[in-house]
Amino acid sequence: MTDAIRIGRRSFVIGGATIGAGLVVGLEIPFGSTSATGAEAAPEINAWVVVKPDDTVVIRIARSEMGQGTLTGLAQLVAEELDCDWSKVTTEHPTPGQSAARNRPWGDFNTGGSRGIRSSQDYVRKGGAIARAMLIQAAANDWKVPAGECTVEKGVISHAASGRSTTYGKVADAAAKLTPPADAPLKDPRDWKIAGKSLKRLDTADKTTGKMVYGADVTLPGMLNAAIKDCPVFGGRMASYDASKIAGFKGVKKVVRVGDTAVAVVADTWWHAKTALDALPIVWDEGPNAKVSSAETAKWLAEGLHDSQPAVTGNQNGAARAAIAAAPKTIEAVYGYPHQNHAALEPLNATVLYTPDKCEVWTGTQNGEAAFGAVVEASGLPPEKCDVHKMMIGGGFGRRLFTDSIKQAVLVAKQLPGTPVKLLWSREEDMTHGKYHPVTQCRLVGCFDANNNLTGLHMRISGQSILATVRPEAIKNGVDPVVFQGLTSTGDAQLGYDVPNLLVEHAMRNPPVPPGFWRGVNINQNAIYLECFMDELAHAAGEDPVAFRRKLMGKHPKHLAVLDAVAERIGWGKPAPEGRHRGVAVYMGFGSYVAAAAEVSVTDGDKIKIHRIVAATDPGYAVNPAQIERQIAGSFVYGLSALFHGGITVKNGRVEQENFDSYDSLRLKDMPKVESIVMPSGGFWGGVGEPTICVAAPAVLNAYFAATGKRIRSVPLKDSNITFL
Amino acid sequence: MTVLVINGKSIQTDIEPDTPLLWAIRENVGLTGTKYGCGVGQCGACTVHIDGVATRSCTITVGDAAGKKITTIEGLAENGVLHRVQQAWIDIDVPQCGYCQSGMIMAVAALLKETPQPSDAQIDATITNICRCGTFQQVREAIHAAARA
């Protein structure tokens, strides 16, 4: 590959409909700096625009939509540069199979890490701009005038001098035959008319009528349904089952082993499959983890907090240990954060049609290419005989970055070649076979000089690394960089404080509970650890928590700006209404600066009412402010659900929580309006879906302390008998 | 044979009477707007109207629902006109992933039938559906908007 842009022109099939006449612009622009390693290692840049003769513009979206609004936001960015009529925009997902067949013209499909927009905005905008240039050129050629004399507005191209005009749809065929320009300038975001606006989502209507088809709703002719049970003990195996005991069960077609660890019942309906599965005698080989418990894991993690145990360093300056040893005053605290399950409301599922010649899958996935890889692997077929059709996702939160359920579905369908099979997990299977938020503890020590200035801070995290399990090749010298999210001096999640002597360490201890990326990942607990402890330090210093923080934030103006914004909005420094108390938190994650301020009252010492909660975020650019506000509010609901009701515990190697009755979620009555401040300062692209999640919990915990004088240092609050009023 | 009356149509079926209504609606009748989220009456994604009352369809059997008037999200619009709750949902752009919203809309439609101008406290007490995306403030806003419509 070279740096050249290549344009594909042949029509092809997407989503069952052939795109015929019209412009299909595809870009393959590998980064020059990485082109030495070939196109495979430089997948970053791609975009597609289709213009139909009726002026409909189909914008292809490679990233997944799971409610976060990326589908609409990416379409806005392309449409902005294209200058098309927004009311005529539709979208569709290319499949990863098509992408593989065409040398990855759409680049990365991964929709995790709040990257949906920030890591593809440049090339999707470029795709729109280049398509615009080609459409204008086609009109100019027809009119035999210079393209520079033509203007375009809402998909209508005009030539003022001759008084002529035409539409994108009319020139699309001619435009598709042109050689594309090597480059096309992007607009200054200050000139945006479609991007940057709070436009309505493109996918709402069908979600209000029941018409939207999620993976769980896929129905194919002759389809059978499968229910599955995987070994309830992590690392265990399925030894045997006795299918004769369910021989007469209605609708049952087949009982199948799935890999080494699971068994599935295939029936005409899922209810029949599940009913039979529940009655199926299964013998599990529980393996080496049959005695694992969260209580024992907690003790093991606590040992890792001691300086005598091995640890690696994630950030340091000065000499924190020495400063603490010599200081006239020190403060110490230990915090902890448990496993959490994603519990997306749509249980995991995949529908597979396998024949010896082809394996097609319909599923909701956050990473189409990972899903595609899983299908290739599990089917044993070559990539050109596989494909994945991405369905609307009923909640992802990181769980659907993983492909375990997709592999299972293929392994089931392989045993019924020619018959489509939908595998659907029960809620119980989802709760007990998650990819859980990692479990950690943290010991923090701060020290002061004689004037109560903070002179040293030592954070020692003990516990689980996600990458050690999920991507072990990313661990270098024992360091999982993601563990230190929000606590480092470089990167997209930087510490916002300058402390003269700083040491941040990690003692990696990995219990045999599968970890995963859970909305916000490690900023969830790291923000609680740091921001609640900053509150403790402020009180130890006898200072106002906001004033105390501000003194340490001189070199971090963006962190400071969001803190100031929430402090001002909540009325920090002015008296709160009678009986209400306030707390703040500030952090950085996924490239964005975030802060929160909460105002709570506490009844009988253990019943919290959140009266107000304010959030601020600086994501650099705001592509759709209304959707960003919804992501902020939604992230607070998710983060506070985990704080109050969450916590996955293990006993005898098994997850104890099986459904929402023991792993509850916030309800409408508990959640006040989130007062959002979206304050993009420009010059960088930060994420939106995750960053704000981490400041809700520490702001509420700090407000709880202000109300009660009591520090809560462990999650969930239900374990401290603290609930919502 | 059991007769289910769904969205105004009588459907004769040989589904086992102890089958949860949810699965009969989704798998036997083929109306997939009603969602499975928990199966134990916690999340409300499967909410339908039974004789006008919001009911979690995973907790009632086909036998118990037989002959009663069942309305699913697909039957909420009348004569091609969206219910005012659906319209408010669109106007305020409520859904995120949308998976819980069929149940949420059905619960709200039943609330407004019973209590045309609900207070926030009445909304809090009645709308207990789980939304993992956290659309609650748009839900509340849309309930009030639908009540005014």
* Domain CATH number, residue B132: 1.10.150.120
The answer to whether A266 and A222 have CB atoms below 8 angstroms apart is no
Adjacent-strand bridge partners of A226: A266, A423
For chain B, the distance separating the N- and C-terminal CA atoms, rounded to the nearest angstrom, is: 42
User: How close, in Å, is residue B38 to chain A by CA atoms?
Assistant: 5
Is residue B64 domain-shared with residue B89, that is, in the same domain? no
pLDDT of A38 reads 28
Q: Do B37 and A346 touch (CB under 8 A)?
A: yes
Is residue B95 domain-shared with residue B132, that is, in the same domain? yes
**Bigger pLDDT: A182 or A474?**
A474
Using the Cβ of A630 and the Cβ atoms of chain B, whether some distance falls under 8 Å is answered with yes
Question: Rounded to whole angstroms, how far apart are CA atoms A320 and A504?
Answer: 9
Q: Indicate if the pLDDT at residue A534 is higher than 80.
A: yes
Residue B63 domain-assigned (yes or no): yes
pLDDT digits (tens, 9 = 90+) for A109-134: 999 999 999 999 999 999 999 999 99
Secondary structure (3-state) at A217: helix
Q: Which of B24, B54, B74 is the last residue of a domain?
A: B74
Identify the CA nearest to B50 among candidates B67, B70, B34, B64: B70
Please give the ipTM for the structure prediction: 0.98
Helices (H), A156-293: 168-176, 270-279
Q: Which residue has the tokens 């969450």?
A: A646
- pLDDT class for A105, splitting at 50, 70, 90? confident
Residues of B in contact with A209 (CB under 8 A): 33, 73-74, 76-77, 82, 86
Q: Indicate if the pLDDT at residue A533 is higher than 90.
A: yes
Handedness of CA A429, A432, A434, A437 (dihedral sign): positive
Handedness of CA A693, A696, A699, A701 (dihedral sign): negative
Is residue B20 domain-shared with residue B52, that is, in the same domain? yes
Q: Do A393 and B74 touch (CB under 8 A)?
A: no
**Two structure tokens written together for A600:** 């709570």
Is residue B70 domain-shared with residue B19, that is, in the same domain? yes
Residues of A in contact with B19 (CB under 8 A): 271
Is residue B31 domain-shared with residue B61, that is, in the same domain? yes
Amino acid residing at A205: A
Q: How many CB pairs under 8 A join A and B?
A: 176
Q: Is A51 left (phi over 0), alpha (psi -120 to 50) or beta?
A: beta
User: How close, in Å, is residue A248 to chain B by CA atoms?
Assistant: 14
Q: Do A345 and B37 touch (CB under 8 A)?
A: yes
Residue B41 domain-assigned (yes or no): yes
- Give me the sheet containing A23-26, strands edge to edge: A23-26, A48-51, A57-60, A89-92
Residues of A in contact with B81 (CB under 8 A): none
Using CA atoms, how far residue A356 sits from A353, A380, A716, in Å, is: 10, 9, 49
User: How close, in Å, is residue A427 to chain B by CA atoms?
Assistant: 5
Question: Rounded to whole angstroms, how far apart are CA atoms A227 and A259?
Answer: 15
- pLDDT class for A45, splitting at 50, 70, 90? very low
Residue B125 domain-assigned (yes or no): yes
pLDDT of A180 reads 86
Question: Rounded to whole angstroms, how far apart are CA atoms A697 and A710?
Answer: 15
Residue A644 CB neighbours (<10 A): 22
Residues of B in contact with A427 (CB under 8 A): 37-40
Q: Indicate if the pLDDT at residue A307 is higher than 80.
A: yes
Nearest CA in chain A to B35: A346
- pLDDT class for A686, splitting at 50, 70, 90? very high
pLDDT digits (tens, 9 = 90+) for A258-303: 999 999 999 999 999 999 999 999 999 999 999 999 999 999 999 9
Question: Rounded to whole angstroms, how far apart are CA atoms B49 and A383?
Answer: 46
- pLDDT class for A6, splitting at 50, 70, 90? very low
Q: Do A674 and B38 touch (CB under 8 A)?
A: no
Is residue B122 domain-shared with residue B69, that is, in the same domain? no
Is residue B42 domain-shared with residue B9, that is, in the same domain? yes
Residue B35 domain-assigned (yes or no): yes
pLDDT digits (tens, 9 = 90+) for B8-53: 999 999 999 999 999 999 999 999 999 999 999 999 999 999 999 9
Q: Indicate if the pLDDT at residue A23 is higher than 60.
A: no
Q: Do B134 and A200 touch (CB under 8 A)?
A: no
How many structural domains compose chain B?
2
Q: In the predicted model, what is the mean pLDDT of residues A563-590?
A: 98
Is residue B67 domain-shared with residue B46, that is, in the same domain? yes
Is residue B28 domain-shared with residue B53, that is, in the same domain? yes
Question: Rounded to whole angstroms, how far apart are CA atoms A233 and A236?
Answer: 5
Q: Is A72 left (phi over 0), alpha (psi -120 to 50) or beta?
A: alpha
Is residue B67 domain-shared with residue B122, that is, in the same domain? no
pTM: 0.94
Degrees, nearest 5: CA angle A608-A611-A616: 115
What mean pLDDT is reported for chain A? Answer: 92
Residue B60 domain-assigned (yes or no): yes
A positions 290-349 inside 8 Å of B (CB): 343-347
Q: Which of B30, B93, B130 sits opposite A200 (nearest CB)?
A: B93
- pLDDT class for A165, splitting at 50, 70, 90? very high
Q: Indicate if the pLDDT at residue A44 is higher than 80.
A: no
Q: Which of B56, B74, B92 is the last residue of a domain?
A: B74
A positions 471-530 inside 8 Å of B (CB): none
The answer to whether A619 and A625 have CB atoms below 8 angstroms apart is no
Q: Do B82 and A665 touch (CB under 8 A)?
A: no
Q: Indicate if the pLDDT at residue A33 is higher than 60.
A: no
Using CA atoms, how far residue A522 sits from A436, A438, A593, in Å, is: 12, 8, 15
pLDDT > 90 fraction of chain B, expressed in percent and rounded:
99
pLDDT digits (tens, 9 = 90+) for B57-75: 999 999 999 999 999 999 9
Range with the lowest mean pLDDT among A102-106, A435-439, A637-641? A102-106
pLDDT of A17 reads 29
Residues of A in contact with B30 (CB under 8 A): 219
Q: Do B45 and A344 touch (CB under 8 A)?
A: no
Residues of A in contact with B90 (CB under 8 A): 204-205, 208
Is residue B65 domain-shared with residue B95, that is, in the same domain? no
Secondary structure (3-state) at A596: strand
Is residue B61 domain-shared with residue B120, that is, in the same domain? no
Residue A139 CB neighbours (<10 A): 25
pLDDT > 90 fraction of chain A, expressed in percent and rounded:
90
Q: Indicate if the pLDDT at residue A41 is higher than 70.
A: no
Kindly tell me the number of DSSP H helices and DSSP E strands found in chain B: 6, 5
Residue B36 domain-assigned (yes or no): yes
Mutate to test the interface with B, among A668, A671, A673, A692 (most CBs of B within 10 A): A668
- pLDDT class for A714, splitting at 50, 70, 90? very high
Q: Do B124 and A671 touch (CB under 8 A)?
A: no
Q: Do A669 and B124 touch (CB under 8 A)?
A: yes
**Two structure tokens written together for A375:** 């299908």
Q: In the predicted model, what is the mean pLDDT of residues A338-361?
A: 98
User: How close, in Å, is residue A522 to chain B by CA atoms?
Assistant: 19
Give residue B55's domain range. 2-74
Residue B79 domain-assigned (yes or no): no
Q: Indicate if the pLDDT at residue A30 is higher than 70.
A: no
Kind plus residue range of the DSSP H or E element containing A158:
strand A156-159
Identify the CA nearest to B22 among candidates B52, B51, B45, B54: B45
Q: Indicate if the pLDDT at residue A88 is higher than 80.
A: yes
Q: Indicate if the pLDDT at residue A48 is higher than 90.
A: no
Identify the CA nearest to A719 among candidates A396, A400, A337, A461: A337
Q: Do A271 and B77 touch (CB under 8 A)?
A: no
Which domains does chain A possess?
13-207 (3.30.365.10), 221-287+342-432 (3.30.365.10), 304-340+436-724 (3.30.365.10)
Residue B38 domain-assigned (yes or no): yes
- Give me the sheet containing B2-6, strands edge to edge: B9-13, B2-6, B69-71, B47-50, B53-56
Identify the CA nearest to B33 among candidates B127, B84, B98: B98
pLDDT of A173 reads 87
pLDDT of A28 reads 35
Secondary structure (3-state) at A388: strand
* Domain CATH number, residue B67: 3.10.20.30
Q: Is A103 left (phi over 0), alpha (psi -120 to 50) or beta?
A: left
pLDDT of A16 reads 28
Q: Indicate if the pLDDT at residue A506 is higher than 90.
A: yes
Residues of B in contact with A660 (CB under 8 A): 37-38, 40, 42-43, 130
Q: Do A661 and B42 touch (CB under 8 A)?
A: yes
- pLDDT class for A304, splitting at 50, 70, 90? very high
Secondary structure (3-state) at A459: strand
Q: What is the distance, to the nearest Å, from the Cα of residue A163 to the centroid of all Cα atoms in its chain?
A: 50
Residues of B in contact with A422 (CB under 8 A): none
